Amino acid sequence: LSGFLSGFFSILFSCVFVAISLISTNQYFLNIAKTILMVHLPVAFIEGVITGFILTFLKKTKSEIIGG
């Protein structure tokens, strides 16, 4: 679960900060900022799943890398 959350929130927070910077630049970018957020939600989910699988694999094979 921690792997999924770290992958998911890394993409999500990046998109939120890009949207905030676009909106603070000019209000005309509001629709673009909404589109960026909506398009990256599936990407964030996929990133979370991949990161979760990788961390699970590393825990099973090379647990000294993670410290567990």
Whole-structure pTM value:
0.77
pLDDT digits (tens, 9 = 90+) for 15-62: 999 999 999 998 899 999 999 999 999 999 999 999 999 999 988 888
pLDDT of residue 68: 58
pLDDT of residue 43: 95
**Residue 15 CB coordination number (10 Å):** 19
pLDDT of residue 67: 73
Question: Quick check: 66 pLDDT over 90?
Answer: no
Question: SS3 sequence, the chain?
Answer: CHHHHHHHHHHHHHHHHHHHHHHHHCHHHHHHHHHHHHHHHHHHHHHHHHHHHHHHHHHHHCHHHHCC
pLDDT of residue 65: 78
Q: What is d(CA 64, CA 10) in angstroms, rounded to the nearest whole number?
A: 24
